[in-house]
Amino acid sequence: MELYEYSVSALKKMLQNKKVSSREVTEAFLDRIEIIDGKVQAYITKTAEEALKKADEIDSKRQKGEELPSLAGIPMALKDNLCTKDIKTTCASKNLYNFKPPYSATVVEKLEKNGAVMLGKLNMDEFAMGSSCENSRFFSTRNPWDLERVPGGSSGGSAAAVAAREASYTLGSDTGGSIRQPASFCGVVGLKPTYGRVSRYGLVAFASSLDQIGPFANTVEDVALVLQAIAGHDPMDSTSVDIPVPDYSEALQGDIKGMKIGIPREYFPDELSSDVKDVVQKGIKKLEDLGAIVEECSMPHTEYALPTYYIVAPAEASSNLARYDGVRYGYRDKDAKNVLEMFMKTRNEGFGEEVKRRIMIGTYALSSGYYDAYYLKALKVRTLIRRDFESAFEKYDCLVSPTSPSVAFKLGDRVDDPLAMYLSDLFTVPANMAGIPAISLPCGFSEGLPVGMQIMGKAFAEETILKVAHAFEKNSDFQGQKPRGVE
């Protein structure tokens, strides 16, 4: 077995027992990236030199017998919308093609303090808007299981890098499914924590009431380890909640006998491909075999979540993205004669097609005469969606569904049809609307491509969904399968 194939928790033990050095592990990942990333194209920026420097630092501390934190010496990578001090943070946009943040995101600082070794920054849909990574202004990332297919989005680079073992774990961000959908497409584990669980400080904002940062890894145990390192209150983000962070690795222990799991029937509509449906139903059967009490339930407002999301998210985005005006950082059209012309030209050239489309939708929904009909109406429907979850969680510990209605689709298949692209977020947006945590984990294959199962939990009850996911994973044969596109 190659060093890059080990899980985060295995590497942690090997490093602690000095079976291997951080330099050896880091070099193994850097070589892997060198060999494979030409095909997968997950990385926008590689930081090999800094990575080796950090690895040596950790190794020398370990040699001296210093006590090191849990993730010390383990190589990881970050979605390129997480600010990294003095290292380019582009959001895969022409607008920020040369942007070097003067500070790091809180999650980045936390990982640094935890001894993490950063290998580089990962590709994404521009400003996290998209479901296939094809909206990157630089290049499209490929799905490691089939290089002709998309890795999902928007955190496509983060999912593909973990699947292709180009990083032991990664971070992404999830506004409407941008962690879970690519995790599902690439056959890895991806967690969107509760809104408020992880600080958003230094995450380039898309839709501030929905955005949340979370981990990708190859196992549930690894995701728990990484969540532990990034969770918690941060004075720099007033929406990060000041409540204790439980021990997530501890929470994985024990069985799920007697746990009550709801299966909302609205998450199995006609649009759902029958293969995905079969695979997920088999997964649910397995949870039942493991002792969970599984019951069908109803969440009547589910079908309204997607249209509501595509009003709320663009509305917030249109406001958040007003800052890209070519004044303080990023791209500027240099030929403009006056300042208005500079704003208009800079923005039109700096933003790609989908980002402009969302800014337009959002501006329209917020504009005079339409505000009540669209934005305010959507916020009221958001309340109804939340209530669906509140009543479901009175009866159930968690809810299980497919993560996305289909497996990874082919590159180019949906680029000309925005609505078809939006539909791949059908089952993931409700969790963002309600602010609850949700995890996607591999539960089988359809036509040789991974199918993801989504487990949604109560607010701040990440332990529950991690526990169910872990119980499932231990009893599944997915682990050890290698993506065909890169082997």
Partner 1 sequence: MRITKKDVEHVALLSRLDLTEEEKEAYTKQLNSIIDYMNKINELDTEGVEPTAHVLPIYNVMREDEVGESLDREKVLENAPEKEDGQFKVPRIV
> Of the two residues 178 and 194, which places its CB atom closer to partner 1 in the complex?
194
Three-state secondary-structure class, residue 107: helix
Q: Shortest approach of partner 1 to residue 4 CB, angstroms?
A: 34
Question: Is 154 marked active-site?
Answer: yes
Question: Of the candidates 276, 310, 296, which has an alpha carbon nearest to the alpha carbon of residue 447?
Answer: 276
Beta-bridge mates of residue 76: 118, 169
Q: Which is nearest to 295 in space by CA: 387, 386, 389, 397?
A: 397
Q: What is the three-state SS of 54-104?
A: HHHHHHHHHHCCCCCCCCCCCEEEEECCECECCECCCCCCHHHCCCCCCCC
Spatial distance between the Cα atoms of 146 and 487, rounded to a whole number of angstroms: 11
**Taking CB under 8 A as the rule, does residue 364 contact partner 1?**
yes
- Is 17 a binding residue for partner 1 by CB under 8 A? The answer is no
48 binds partner 1, rule: CB under 8 A: no
Q: What is the largest CA-CA distance in the chain?
A: 70
For residues 235 and 412, which CB has a smaller minimum distance to partner 1 in the complex? 235
Q: Which of 12, 54, 79, 467 is catalytic?
A: 79
Please report whether residue 322 would count as binding partner 1 according to CB under 8 A: yes
Asked if 328 is part of the footprint of partner 1 (rule: CB under 8 A), the reply reads yes
Q: CB within 8 A of 399, min separation 6: which ones?
A: 261, 262, 263, 264, 297, 299, 389, 392, 455, 456, 457
Q: Which stretch binds partner 1 (CB under 8 A): 33-41, 105-113, 114-122, 308-316?
A: 308-316
Does 88 interact with partner 1 (rule: CB under 8 A)? no
CB of 339 to partner 1, least distance (A): 5
Single out the catalytic residue among 154, 318, 401, 406.
Answer: 154
368 among known catalytic residues: no
178 catalytic, yes or no?
yes
Please tell me whether residue 271 binds partner 1 under the rule CB under 8 A: no
CA separation for the pair 279, 256 (Å, rounded):
21
Among the listed residues 140, 155, 168, 178, the single catalytic one is: 178
Q: Binding partner 1 by CB under 8 A: which of 23, 46, 61, 357?
A: 357
Q: Does 270 bind partner 1 (CB under 8 A)?
A: no
The 10 Å Cβ neighbour count of residue 335 is: 8
Among residue numbers 198 through 217, which ones bind partner 1 (CB under 8 A)? 209
Of 16, 60, 298, 383, which lies in the binding site for partner 1, with binding defined by CB under 8 A?
A: 383
CB atoms inside a 10 Å sphere around CB 46:
17
Which of 29, 201, 206, 331 forms a contact with partner 1 (CB under 8 A)? 331
Cα torsion 364, 369, 371, 377 to 10°: value is -110
Q: Which stretch binds partner 1 (CB under 8 A): 1-9, 108-116, 289-297, 376-384?
A: 376-384
DSSP 485: G
User: Total binding residues for partner 1 by CB under 8 A?
Assistant: 70
Burial class (CB in 10 A: 0-12, 13-18, 19+), 372: exposed
> Does residue number 356 form part of the binding site for partner 1 (CB under 8 A)?
yes
Query: Using an 8 Å Cβ cutoff, are 215 and 230 in contact?
Result: yes
Nearer to partner 1, 196 or 457 (CB): 196
d(CA 443, CA 278): 11
Minimum distance from CB of 433 to partner 1 (Å)? 8
Q: Which of 6, 195, 268, 427 touches partner 1 by CB under 8 A?
A: 195
* Pairing mode, strands 449-457 and 438-446: antiparallel
User: Which residue, 141 or 194, has its beta carbon nearer to partner 1?
Assistant: 194
CB of 233 to partner 1, least distance (A): 11
The residues annotated as belonging to the active site are 79, 154, 178
Binding residues for partner 1, rule: CB under 8 A, are: 98-100, 102-103, 195-196, 209, 235, 238-239, 241, 301, 303-304, 307-308, 310-311, 318, 322, 325-332, 334, 336-345, 347-348, 351, 356-357, 359-361, 363-365, 367, 373-374, 376-384, 386, 418-419, 433-435, 459
